[in-house]
Structure formats: C-alpha cells, structure tokens
Structure 1
Amino acid sequence: MVFDTPTLFLCVTIAGYAGSAILFAFQKVWKSRSRACSQSLVLWSAGLFVTGNGSVLIGLRGTIPDEFSIILANALIVLGTGLRRGGFAAFLGRPRFLGGYAAIALLWIALCFYPPFMNSFISRVNFMQACLIGSCLWVIWMAFRQNPENLKSAKLLGVTNIIECTAYVWFVIHQNILLFPTFLSVFQQDFMTAYLVTILASIIMTMVLPACMVIERASHRFKEEALKDPLTGLSNRRAVLNEAEDWIRSLSERASEVSYTLVLFDLDDIAAIKKRFGPEMNDSVLQLFGRVLAEEFKPPAMIGRIEGETFIAVLPDTNKEISFLTVQKTSRKFTNTFQDASNGKFGVSVCAGLVTATSDSPVERVMEAAYKGVSSAKRKGRGQIVAMDLAANGSLKQTLATGEFASLRRKAA
C-alpha cells in the first residue's frame, strides 16, 4: 500500500469508524464501569462516528454538492469533536459544553451562507482549525490540571492532544503562508501527508486511551477498596500499618530516633447494643466513632478500623502526654455525641491503650503492646485509657492512666 494523501485520508476515516465500534463494544462488555465511565465511552464512540461521517463527505468533495462536502461535513466534524471532548469531560466529572459545540456548528453553517466567507478557502480553514485547536487545548487543560486521580492514561491523552494540536497549527501556518485556493490543491502537498499521519496516530490513540482510562480508574478503585473498611470508610488494618511502615522507612536518613504513638480504641458494650437494638444500630455506632476519629485526628495521623469494634491511630512525631490528652478528648467527644444522639437514653464508652515508642520499634510490635494496654484498660472498667512506654529492650511500662470513668465525664479537663 502506498501511503499517499488519499490513502491516508481513507485510513483516517476508517480508523474513526473502527474506533467508534470498538469503544461502543467495550462499553457494553465492561461490567465494572461506573455511570460516568459509561457516558464517557458512549460520547467518545458517538464522536468518532459523527467525525467519520464528516470525513466521508469531505472525501467526496468535487463529486457531491458543496452543501454536503463543505457545509455539512465540517459541521459534523465540529459536533464529533465536541462529543469526543465531552466524553473526556464526562469521565472527569467536568462540564461537557456540548451545547457550545452545537452553537459553533450552527455558527459555521450560518457563515457558510455568507458568500465572502464561503468563497474564501483561507477563512474556512482558519475557522475550522481554530475550533480544533481550541478543543485540543481544552483537553490538555483537563488532562493535566483537572485530573484529580492523576491517571497516567489521561495524561497520555493530554500528550496526544498536544501532538494533534501541533498538527493543526502546522496546517494553518502552511495554508496562511502558501494560500492554497482549494482543498483539493492542498490535498496534493507533501506537508498534508505529515498532517494526516499525525491525525491518524491521534485517532488510533483515541481508540485505545478512553478504554485505558476506564480500566485504570477501576484498578485504582479496586486498590482503594482493598485498603478501606467498607463500613466506616476509614483505612483498614493493612493500609494503616503499610502507611506507618512507609513513614518509618522515610526516617532512615535522620541521625536520631523519632518518637511516635500507636493507639488502639475498643468500644465498650458494643455486643450488648447489637443484641438489644440489632446490627443496624451496631453499624451506626461504629460509623459514628469513625467520623469522630476522623475529625479529631488529622494528617499526618494515620487512622483506621482494625476489626469489629477496634480502631487504630498512629501519631507520628507525637509525645506521650499530647497523645494521651487527644485520646481523652476523642473518647469523651464520642461518648457525649452518642448520648446526645440517643437523648441520653443510653451511652457507649471507649477504652484505649496507647504505646509511645521510637521509630526503631516495628509497628507490629508496638501494636501488640497496645493490645495489652487495651486489655488492661478493660479490666479497669468502662471508658478507661492506659498509656505505656515501649523500651528499647521490648519491656513495657505503664506511665499514665485515667481515673475511674474519667472519659465519661462531660466536663473533665
């Protein structure tokens, strides 16, 4: 096959139709797609199909009336481009501006009924290429500035549009310098070959990247779900421990050890609540404590739910006294909030064990010690907090503890 401009133009047209069919089929078979992803794929597919129809009409220029090969063809390309860009915007949850592209298409049609514009090939070229360049710039902006998930496939789409935009600029520059009188005269030029090769490559990437973005987003969400507690939305045990271990590894270049505190919270009498009021109330209590924990412990603190009614907080660069006071405040806030929510009919308290250690102490070892602190607190009664230090030799020393029911007092200091 000889890759002259007619052949390349045919390849661009076929690629548009093929991309439309592939993305539509992918939208049907990919079961893990979200609503946004489904809408995005449908818009991308429709955009490629509409653009392909426009390309067919342009390819028939000289054999069919100009009303079809010029006016309708370019209007379809504007609409198809708008649908594709709108598909990307829908994927990112941004405004699609489909009405704006429809308005541009109507403006194009209106201008074509103005003889000075219709008879000027350079005017028509500049109008269309300006629309395409503006569209590419919008995609580039979204890919690099409005991509909160930092998806690599979305950034690659941005790079693709940079290349595509360069091709449009290349075409405009040549046309405005050489001032070709008709499309057919441009079609025979060598620079048109490079232009069509670039557009073909862009369309091929457009066939692949929307599906890649959907798959990458699903992969990210699967990873997030694997590291999250589904009931409270907090991190799960593995996520918190991994994050804490990463923090400790990041301290390897420091000359001195850094202290940190690990806290385990255990809700009192949660089994009795479940038995008396059912699993829904049990879940509500756990969710409430999760919200209180998130409100009181801000980053760089690492919080999560271990299992059942047990929650964890890892506090980097925090001493024992500050950690103890924060745990008291958190426990008291939860107890008071729950009492208010139940109009004082019943209450739930929290026992906690916290261990302060240096960064050379493994997180798993510190957590084992914190479990001992929780057990000690529960033996003392409801709403108790026990704080301990973990020595370098692995021994534990209890250093702070609440008085009886201290975390249950509303006005405790």
Structure 2
Amino acid sequence: MSAAVEFIGAFLLFLFVRTSPSAIDARSVKSLTFWIISFAMCGFGLVALISRGYAPDWISYLFANAAILLAADMRRVAVSKFWGIRSSHWLGLLAAAGWTGLYFVPAFKSSYAAIVFYVHAALLVIVAKAAYQVLSCNRGRLRTARWLGWTYCVAALTHFYVAFSAVLSEHSIFQPFSSIEVIGGYVGIMFVTLFVNTIIVFAMVTEREQLKFQELAQVDPLTNLNNRRAFLNEANDWLKRNSRKERDFSVIMLDLDHFKKVNDTHGHAIGDKVLKISADVLKTELPNDAAIGRLGGEEFAILLKNTPHDRVMYYAERVRCKFIEAVCSDFNGALSVTLSAGYHTENTRSNCPLNTAMAFADRALYQAKDAGRNRVYSSKKPKLDVVRETSRVPEASGFATPKAI
C-alpha cells in the first residue's frame, strides 16, 4: 500500500509539472522534480523491502534500505530547493554508505534489531533536519508549509520511537527481531507520513503561487514599494493593533518637485530612474519597521511607528538631503531634482484616523510647496519647523546646491 502511494504521488506530481509549467516558477519546478524522484525511489525501495523471501537479500535489504535513505534525503533537498537554499546530498549519501558498509558485517546483518535501529536513527536525523528547514524558512508565511513541518516532526518522533524500541526491547540488540516487526515499522511510518506529504506538496506549491500573485497586486512594479492599497492596509492594521497603547506615530507625505518637467524634458525613462532612486533612499534612510508606499505618480506616503516628533523631522530631512545627493551622483550633476515633505504626528490613544493624519500631513506638504519647495514642514507649526531651505547646502554632500526643476 505504501509503495502504491509513493508511485501514485510521483505520477501525480509529474502530471502537475507537465500540465502547468507556466503556472509555477522555476524554483518550484526544481523542487517538484526532486520530490518526484524521491517518491519513485522510495516506492522501489518499499517494493524491494516487502519482497523479502522472494528476492535476494541484496535487493530486499541492501538496495531497499539504501533507496529509502536516499529518498528521504532527496525530500530534504526538495524542501531546500523550494525555499531557494543551497543544499547538498551528503547526509543521505553518508547514511546510505554507512548502511552499505554495515551490511557486510555478519553480526549486524543477522540482527533485525540492529537494522531497525540504524535505518530509523538515520531517518530520524534526515527528517528532523528537513523539519527544521521547513519551519525556519517558512516563518509563518505558508500555512501548508507549517503542516509539512509538523508532519516531519511527527515522522521524526516516530522514527525515534522505533529506533530506540529496538535498543530497549527485551532482546539484545544483536538478537533478531521478527521480519514482521521490521517491515511493519517501515510500512506504518511511510504510509501515514508520506501519504500526507503527497497531498501537502500540491497544496504548498499552489499556496505559494497564490501568495505571489497577492504580493504582486500589493507592490508597485516600478519602485517595489507598497502601492496605495497595501500601504493603507498596513498602516491601518498597525493603528488598530496599537489603539489602546501609548504609541507615537507620524505620517509623512512626500512629493518630488516639478517632476512633470523632468518627464517632459528628459523623457519617462529618466523619470522612472528618479522614482527608483527616491524609493531606494526611502528604504535605506528610514527605520526598518516604517510603512512606505507610493500613492501614485511622484507622491509617497510614510508611516513612522513609535517615533517622537523631533525624530520625524530628522528622518524627513535626512531623506530630502540624501535624495538630492543620490540624484546628483547618479546623473553626474547633469540633473537636479528636489523634494518637499509634510508630516503630522499623533498618538495612538487619540484614535486619530489614518486618513485624517494623512490630510494634515498633506496640508503641511502643500504649505512647503507654497513656501518655495525643497523643504520639510510640520502640520503643527509649519513656519517654525522648517529645517533646511532651498538655499542651504546639505552637509557633507560634496555637491553644489542643485537648482530645483
């Protein structure tokens, strides 16, 4: 029965890869290829294992257990390929080589207990490592990957129980077990855990592809920042989670000055490059937990979490200066673009809606625009909170003050 499950799983995965190559990425195809080979190899190993009494010992013992060990390690490698992690086959090869060497030791070969202990102890190490890879790489993203990880954990515990039952049995480890116990241990574990794996592999690949499409729908393709919807969802979720806590937060509205003139004069390719530069500066200069989104065109929105008012001005001004430097550096001084920003600071206990905070920040942004651009204004006291005027040179920039366009 377990061998049939293995062959059916290999066949179904093969059909899945052949019939929907465009629906899954190359990394998933490579992972599924290893799964297919491992299913087929394990199926042949189980067939050889249950042929004891009908086939030579080198088939029913040597080949069978070596194939099962290699197949288990190939599934571990398949997990690594799924997550894009480099992984070698040394673990399975080492286990199979050790098994092959011990097979020619008469005392070991004559003891079913020793065979059970070695094979299941080796499978315990391989499966435990696979479980660790699944759970550590997934980090809660895929629900089906969590299922696969916990399935591996159950399999590892089962291998542990079978291996040490051989040691703790009333027989000496070099006294033979019955062949029914040996075969029953293998078949029981393989049938329960690997049947579940067959189903989960399909679901895991499908879920990741669906997640990728969802992420593409939430990411601005040019800048790789959140789009408007994703930014609003992330910001509102954070405000909702912290509505009963004392948390300072600020919304920054940022706009590139005279950006339409850049597109009209230099072309949209240059304009796109400037937008990418602005996105890179935002991701580099702002805190890692900041929510950043491109609202459309040359307008960006930022939510700074747990940030006091004075630090908000520091971050906004730092972004402004670094953006000017980056544009001058990338275009060797042939192009100069500035930006203006406005921000509004609130506390989560005030229950200020996000759209209200954005409206205040947007008003401060347009006050900065009206005052001459290339500056940062606060919604509280815009005239007093201007830190750097257009005529000031960014410190340590190494560039002359660019002329705003």
- Asked if 1:186 is matched to 2:179, the reply is yes
Q: Which residue of 1 aligns with 2:273?
A: 284
Matched position secondary structure for 1:386: strand
Superposed structure 1 runs of 4+ greater than 4 Å apart: 178-183, 191-195, 396-399
1:226–1:26 distance in 2 versus 1, CA, 3 Å? same
In structure 2, what is the Cα distance between the partners aligned to 1:250 and 1:129? 46
Q: Which residue of 1 aligns with 2:284?
A: 295
Q: Which residue of 2 aligns with 1:376?
A: 367
- Asked if 1:142 is matched to 2:133, the reply is yes
The one-letter code matched in structure 2 to 1:281 is: I
Count of aligned pairs between the two proteins = 391
| Structure 1 residues 11-26: aligned runs within 5 Å | 11-26=1-16
| Structure 1 residues 166-315: aligned runs within 5 Å | 166-176=157-167, 177=169, 179=171, 185-187=178-180, 196-254=187-245, 259-315=248-304
TM-score by length of 2: 0.86
Q: Which residue of 1 aligns with 2:401?
A: none
Deviations 1:15-55 (A, max 9, x none): 11111112222223343322221111111111010110111
1:226 to partner: Cα distance? 2.4
1:89 to partner: Cα distance? 2.0
1:150–1:248 distance in 2 versus 1, CA, 3 Å? closer
Matched position secondary structure for 1:229: coil
| Structure 1 residues 14-413: aligned runs within 5 Å | 14-30=4-20, 31-148=22-139, 150-176=141-167, 177=169, 179=171, 185-187=178-180, 196-254=187-245, 259-359=248-348, 360-389=351-380, 400-401=385-386, 404-406=389-391, 409-411=393-395
The one-letter code matched in structure 2 to 1:29 is: T
TM-score by length of 1: 0.85
1:130 to partner: Cα distance? 1.8
* Structure 2 contact 304–312 (Cα < 8 Å) conserved: yes
* Structure 1 contact 264–311 (Cα < 8 Å) conserved: yes
Q: Which residue of 1 aligns with 2:402?
A: none
Matched position secondary structure for 2:374: coil
The one-letter code matched in structure 1 to 2:216 is: E
The one-letter code matched in structure 1 to 2:390 is: F
Consecutive unaligned residues of structure 2, counting only runs of 5 or more, are 398-405
Matched position secondary structure for 1:266: strand
In structure 2, what is the Cα distance between the partners aligned to 1:147 and 1:412? 42
In structure 1, what is the Cα distance between the partners aligned to 2:313 and 2:163? 68
* Structure 1 contact 167–195 (Cα < 8 Å) conserved: no
1:193 to partner: Cα distance? 5.4
In structure 1, what is the Cα distance between the partners aligned to 2:225 and 2:320? 17
1:80–1:358 distance in 2 versus 1, CA, 3 Å? closer
1:150 to partner: Cα distance? 4.1
1:320–1:361 distance in 2 versus 1, CA, 3 Å? same
In structure 2, what is the Cα distance between the partners aligned to 1:354 and 1:178? 76
1:410–1:16 distance in 2 versus 1, CA, 3 Å? same
In structure 1, what is the Cα distance between the partners aligned to 2:198 and 2:92? 21
Q: Which moved more, 1:299-308 or 1:162-171?
A: 162-171
RMSD: 2.8
